Amino acid sequence: MSNPLFDRLFGIHAGKDTPFLQLPDGRVLTHADFLDMAARIANALTGFGLEPNDRVAVQVQKSPEALALYAACVQAGLIFLPLNTAYTTDELRYFIENSGAKLIVADAASRADLEPIAQVQNATVETLNPDGSGSLMRRAQGMLPAFEPAQRTEDDLAAFLYTSGTTGRSKGAMLTQANLLSNAETLVKEWRFTEKDVLLHALPIFHTHGLFVATNVILASGGSMIFLPGFNLDDILRLMPGATSMMGVPTFYTRLLDDDRFTDDLSRHMRLFISGSAPLLAETHERFETRTGHRILERYGMTETNMNTSNPYDGERRAGTVGFPLPGIALKITDPETGETLPNGETGMIEVRGPNVFKGYWQMPEKTAAELRDDGFFITGDLGLIDAQGYVHIVGRGKDLIISGGYNIYPKEIELLLDEHPDVQESAVIGVPHPDFGETVLGVLVPAPGKTPDPDTILQAVGPKLARFKHPRRLVVVETLPRNTMGKVQKNLLRDVYKDMFVTA
């Protein structure tokens, strides 16, 4: 039986007694331990009656068991659907219903909220807690540590990752085995990962960055990870001496620089620091080099495409750019209106094509057609240019999106909730600069006639419906929103007015 993703990321490590996951409490899981755990879980999953292509929705804290659940889904041919741990029950309901998940794996504390959602579609709920306990692992422990991988081809689906839209509901990006495999194998070569690498892994594993970039690269190279539950500065500083490399969002780097314990001595032995998911300020890049002598390697990717471009490992890592298209990936800049390719130096829409580009949005042919051209180019929604040396610069966003600490937030979703409040006539949600998160969420409200909206009351009303990271950090009340002659709210003007709200000069 062939299962390319399993064979080339996981199967290659069968029987290896070398470390794969080092945990902050000193525990170590070897590759063999990890594969045993994955096989037991795969047996448990098929024991629940799941069959290839069924979706498994997973909202659990980061743990070795959670990662083994990903491996088990690949092994059993199931579609892995990881979900941000910050999502509320309202948010989860949509993902579970839309994907038609057959199994939901969640923390025991969420079980009571999820059962009614699961019942509607004949799905089951199993639990997995941060310490590895719960009904899923209880079942898995009684299973054999061997599982014959399900037959798959590279064109088969491996994962769904939901990504919000500028209008309407979230879309399930369908990722194939080839999407994940081609990107992981390319990045191993580009970034020179080998079995000697030890990656300091502090990212969440429910997004592309922590799961498909960080984890898949380590799996494909045979290296190991210091596997932290989240970004905790004390742990990072304590454990960095045992690492060779780190991947993070820009907030990781600004937080390190803000701590005097992060010195040249502590980081000298490191081979590579990589940043992505949000713009790394050129200033952060320069401060980092001054402090450590390392030039952070910045790359650019998306949920729908995995990684598209990267600064070079050997050549100049240019601050404020995202480097060159990766081998096998075509990137062009087009006129957003006509789709015509623009010459180098001109700003337009970034479009990409390659084996990394997803198959489409789950059960949304119209949305897929609007973003994925017939010739395979994906319209990213990012505005950029290619300079004379071929470096790609991201200069803005054609999509109304806020990126806070590496998490994407779609203003429309928040505006719809704010507008529901009886004291609010209309609202505009914008991203403004923030020293820790890069950007943060600000809500601008226009009162309903005769009302005086109280920001605290309104935040309390919308809070339970939205993941915490999407909450507006502040609400301001204005008489009217600025509009252009077409009646469209001019968010650029609002962003300019409030640009210093969270930053001190």
Residues that bind ligand AMP (CB under 6 A): 163, 208, 276-279, 298, 300-303, 322, 380, 382, 394, 397, 403, 408
Q: Which does 279 bind (CB under 5 to 8 A by kind): ligand AMP, ligand MLC, none?
A: ligand AMP
Give me the least distance between CB of 237 and ligand AMP, in Å please.
25
Q: Which does 404 bind (CB under 5 to 8 A by kind): ligand MLC, ligand AMP, none?
A: ligand MLC
| Binding residue (CB under 6 A) for ligand MLC from 17, 260, 468, 485 | 468
Q: Are 82 and 158 in contact (CB under 8 A)?
A: no
The pattern of x and - marking residues 236 through 255 that bind ligand MLC according to CB under 6 A reads -------------x-x----
| Binding residue (CB under 6 A) for ligand MLC from 469, 478, 493, 498 | 469
- At which residue do the structure tokens 């130096």 appear? 345
Q: Which does 310 bind (CB under 5 to 8 A by kind): ligand AMP, ligand MLC, none?
A: none
Give me the least distance between CB of 381 and ligand AMP, in Å please.
6
Q: Which does 397 bind (CB under 5 to 8 A by kind): ligand AMP, ligand MLC, none?
A: ligand AMP
Quote the strand ranges of 31-73, DSSP E: 55-59
Per DSSP, the three-state class of 433 is strand
- At which residue do the structure tokens 């990662």 appear? 67
Q: Which does 179 bind (CB under 5 to 8 A by kind): ligand AMP, ligand MLC, none?
A: none
Stretch binding ligand MLC (CB under 6 A), from 114-122, 176-184, 400-408, 418-426: 400-408
Reading phi first (left if > 0) and then psi (alpha if -120 to 50, else beta), residue 347 is in beta
User: Within 10 Å of residue 474's Cβ, how many Cβ atoms?
Assistant: 16
Q: Which does 231 bind (CB under 5 to 8 A by kind): ligand MLC, ligand AMP, none?
A: ligand MLC
Residue 238 phi, psi (nearest 5): -70, -35
Give me the least distance between CB of 303 and ligand MLC, in Å please.
6
Q: Are 188 and 197 in contact (CB under 8 A)?
A: no
Give me the least distance between CB of 395 and ligand AMP, in Å please.
10
| Amino acid at the residue 165 | G
Q: CA-to-CA distance for 443 and 17, rounded, in angstroms?
A: 53
Task: Select from 172, 113, 91, 97 the least CA-distant residue to 414.
Answer: 91
| C-beta of 222 vs 406, nearer to ligand MLC | 406
Residue with smallest beta-carbon separation from ligand AMP: 303
Task: Select from 466, 164, 279, 38 the least CA-distant residue to 458.
Answer: 466
| Amino acid at the residue 67 | L
Task: Select from 90, 138, 68, 135 the least CA-distant residue to 108.
Answer: 135
Residues paired with residue 397 on neighbouring β-strands, in sequence order: 382
What does the block give as tokens for 268? 């000298």
| β-pairing verdict for 245-248 and 198-201 | parallel
Give me the least distance between CB of 20 and ligand MLC, in Å please.
21
- The yes or no reply on residue 204 touching ligand MLC (CB under 6 A) is yes
| Binding residue (CB under 6 A) for ligand MLC from 222, 348, 381, 406 | 406
Up-side HSE of residue 380: CA atoms within 13 Å toward CB?
Answer: 28
| C-beta of 209 vs 353, nearer to ligand MLC | 209
Q: CA-to-CA distance for 62 and 342, rounded, in angstroms?
A: 43
Q: Are 357 and 330 in contact (CB under 8 A)?
A: no
Q: Which does 176 bind (CB under 5 to 8 A by kind): ligand MLC, ligand AMP, none?
A: none
Using CB under 6 A as the binding rule, the residues of this chain from 423 to 452 that contact ligand MLC are 437
- The yes or no reply on residue 276 touching ligand MLC (CB under 6 A) is yes
| β-pairing verdict for 402-404 and 407-409 | antiparallel
| C-beta of 37 vs 205, nearer to ligand MLC | 205
Q: Are 463 and 482 in contact (CB under 8 A)?
A: no
| C-beta of 124 vs 170, nearer to ligand MLC | 170
Compute how many residues bind ligand MLC; rule: CB under 6 A.
Answer: 22
The CA distances from residue 191 to 108, 218, 282, 315, in Å, are 39, 11, 21, 12
| C-beta of 50 vs 442, nearer to ligand MLC | 442
Using CB under 6 A as the binding rule, the residues of this chain from 63 to 122 that contact ligand MLC are none
Q: Which does 163 bind (CB under 5 to 8 A by kind): ligand MLC, ligand AMP, none?
A: ligand AMP
Binding site for ligand MLC (CB under 6 A): 203-204, 207-210, 230-231, 249, 251, 276-277, 301-303, 404-407, 437, 468-469
